[in-house]
Structure 1
Amino acid sequence: MSREKAVRILQATVSNDGGGLTGYICNNYRFIDKSKVQFDFLSYEEHLNFKNEFTEMGAHFYTVPHPTHFFQYLHALQVIKRENHDAAIHFNLSYANIIPIIAAKLAGFSRIIVHSHSTQIDEKRMWVRKIKQYIHLTGKQLIPYLATDYWACSKLAAEWMFPHGILNSGQVVLAHNAIDTNKFKFDREKRRQIRTELGITEDTFCVGHIGRFSYQKNQPFLVDIFYQICQKRPDSCLLLIGGKDNGEDVYQEVLDKLKDYQLENKVRLLGFRHDTSNLLQAMDAFILPSRFEGLSIVAVEVQTAGVPSFFSDAMTKETNLTSNCHFISQRVSANYWAQVILENLPGRRDDNVFEVKKAGYDLNDEVQKIISFYMQLGNKK
């Protein structure tokens, strides 16, 4: 099949944050066979750091107004639909905000994929969270009348996004948040190199966390846990990796706690990084005390790299891919978390590439399923 005949899928919506939903979409695009399936991208941002790379691969980019400007957004979709030949529009969502889906329906898209990536509303402000929950509950009931295809990263994420009728119909496609497993193989020499670059001695116990600063990721509680770890093991350091876009309040709360605990010299705030596969090599334990998750890509990466992983029990048990994965209740103290972490450190570090591949989270394998799903949509267009 020539590139001109490839099934084109319009992905909504990407941004410059590099992780989360955008990271998932970009990972798939880099691995997908572009002679069979080609992506186009919607964004609210004009300048994307991967735009030139993907344009050279044959992708098209469209900057559109935010759906809060509904009629402008609708008009933009109508123009895109009229001028292009996308087989479907694929909405990657964390909650059932149906405004952009309604616009896609009115714009004439005959195949509309709704893809659930979360299990709760990521918003610290209670009143905003309540409003979004109301929107979500309403939208959840209307999705079957708007969408044609239903995807989810986990069973829990499917239950969050879709009503029982859809769940019981067998229509939901489980699309794993798969990764390039070979990229995360444990490398002892790389571990020594990265720790040297970060100024971490061989004997230091290095705790790590990767995630944008947000209500969902719960970094302030992570600082509480790390403080308790330091009380028991003073030779410890913490790597906090992630951007603070739209999470400035959480970031400031973390800074305040670090100052109160006098931990500033033990913590490295590394910001958003593209080299997380290397940084994982330096870690001795990974903590993700999220209030909720769909199915965290980072959780898959960490386990692949063989880092002992400690997750909150709010995360779906589908995250449990290896013997190095531990779930701890959100309702227990930071001191209890610290005890569990220090009592469950293996004596030997190795990667878990085989186990993660066997569980179905290798991107080379998963992308073949995605290609098959997309091509079926192209045939039904």
Structure 2
Amino acid sequence: MIRILHSVSNMDRAGIETMLMNYYRYMDTSKVQFDFLCNKKKPGAYDEEIKSMGGRIYRTPGLNPAKYPVYLAYMLKLFREHPEYRIVEAHNGALGVYALCAAKMNKVPVRIFHAHGASITKDWKLPIKLVCKALLPANMNEHYSCGIEAARCYFGEKIVENQNYDLIPNAIKVSDFIFNSETRKKIRKENGMDGKHVIGHVGRFMAQKNHTFLLEVFAEVCKNDPNAHLVLLGDGELMESVKQKAANLNVDERVLFVGNVGNANEWYQAFDCFVLPSIWEGLPVVGVEAQAADLPCVFSENVTREIRLSNRAKFVGLEEPVEKWASVISDVLQSTKRIDRTELITEKHYNIEIEAAKLQERYLQLYGKWCQI
């Protein structure tokens, strides 16, 4: 059995972490086991499940550049105590170079960088991230990506043109998301949504997800639709400011903040459409989930077109006025018929039961290529 050490933020319910858990649940753990190198002290929602499956969770001192020597010392001790780690896979964006550099220094033969984002967030950390991104090629030797645009962002045009990377789809357990009318009735009744036009969103409350703009769009929808209702799943550091924004727009009584829940698949059944106005994305797993539930979707044009799995997915530019967004959302809300999308999702390579077997075989091949003496 080989153990893969995944460098992550923490194992909470978010896009990357949910994708990893989707694959992990379908690994044959007698052959491939996942362990997690978490760079935040906060426990994650998936921690207990990971432990129950035999996975390990380590907590580093964090990715603070000023404390890099402390991080390296921690990693040196970790690899010395656990020489079984021959594959390290980083999911931290450009800052993933921390784990990969430490792995290289400790002679870990397989160092995978897994690209999830199609751009780099322009915040105060941008100069650090650009330096880290420049250091990635010298510290990784395998390229994984959720999509073409994410690969282009982190690996460059030449790698993409030569297809010198592995495309790892953000696959899901399709049966959990296929439209179920009984589940829809149950969730809507429990939450007072009977007769409402429910606009749904799933995402962490962070600048990337653009909740402030979403609320402005929703306020515009409300002007012409007295039955419009917005449901937000997720949590994060900006949740309180988003709640205040809803109050300022006088739509707070029509916005439901659900929080971070384990039954997001059931909430998709209750939605009438799904909206993701992100400032940037790689290939969002929530977009796959929403289309598996056969929801009409409205994405910002900053989301890669690779997410368009069905003709029910629409794209609107963030530079467009809120009136334009509201009009598109109002239009898609008219489409109420929903069907079983298992065949579509499987054909597009997002069925975890099939894709996990492929990834497991890939890990075994990598181990054979780099690690056998």
- The TM-score with structure 1 as length reference comes to 0.90
Amino acid at match of 1:210: V
* Partner residue in 1 for 2:261: 273
Q: What amino acid is aligned across from residue 79 of structure 2 in structure 1?
A: K
Distance 1:17 1:60 in 2: 15
Output one character per residue of 1:44-86: Cα deviation in whole Å (capped at 9) or x when no partner.
Answer: 3374443333223222222221132222222222233223212
Asked if 2 retains the 8 angstrom alpha-carbon contact of 1:240 and 1:268, the reply is yes
The 3 A distance-change label for structure 1 pair 91 and 16 is closer
Identity of aligned residues (%): 30
Query: In 2 relative to 1, CA 261–55 (structure 1 residues): closer, same or farther, beyond 3 Å?
Result: closer
What pairs up with 1:129-144 in 2 under 5 angstroms?
A: 131-132=125-126, 134-144=127-137
Q: CA deviation at 1:187?
A: 0.8
Deviations 1:11-32 (A, max 9, x none): 1125143212222222211111
Query: Is 1:177 matched up with 2:173?
Result: no
The equivalent of 1:66 in structure 2 is 62
Q: Deviations over 1:79-124 (max 9, x none)?
A: 332232122000013335533322222122121100011122346x
SS of 2:208's equivalent in the other structure is: coil
1:103 aligns with 2:96: no
Give the letter aligned to residue 261 of structure 1. Answer: L
Aligned residues: 365
Secondary structure at 1:98 match in 2: helix
Please say if 1:114 is aligned against 2:110: no
Match of 1:238 in 2: 230
**Equivalent residue for 1:33?**
28
* Paired residues of 1:95 and 1:120 also in contact (CA < 8 A): no
| Higher mean C-alpha deviation, range 163-172 or range 67-76 | 163-172
In 1, the alpha carbon distance for the partners of 2:35 and 2:109 equals 16
Of stretches 96-105 and 320-329 in structure 1, the one that deviates more from structure 2 is 96-105
Q: Distance in 2 between matches of 1:96 and 1:67?
A: 7
User: C-alpha separation between the residues in 2 aligned to 1:241 and 1:167?
Assistant: 34
Higher mean C-alpha deviation, range 345-354 or range 223-232: 345-354
What is the rounded CA distance, in whole Å, between the counterparts of 2:268 and 2:54 in structure 1? Answer: 32
Cα pair distance change 1:136/1:160, threshold 3 Å: farther
CA RMSD for the aligned pairs?
A: 1.8
CA 1:109–1:175: 2 relative to 1, 3 Å: same
Contact 2:3-2:35 at 8 Å conserved across structures:
yes
What is the CA–CA distance in structure 2 between the aligned matches of 1:289 and 1:77, rounded to whole Å?
A: 38
Is the 8 Å Cα contact of residues 10 and 42 (structure 2) preserved in structure 1? Answer: no
TM-aligned CA distance change 1:351 to 1:325, over 3 Å:
farther
What is aligned with 1:15?
10
Match among 362, 374, 380 for residue 351 of structure 2? 362
Deviates more, 1:289-298 or 1:367-376: 367-376
Match of residue 335, structure 2, among 322, 330, 346: 346
Distance of 1:48 and 1:332 partners within structure 2:
37
Q: Are the equivalent residues in 2 in contact too, given 1:97–1:135 (CA < 8 A)? A: no
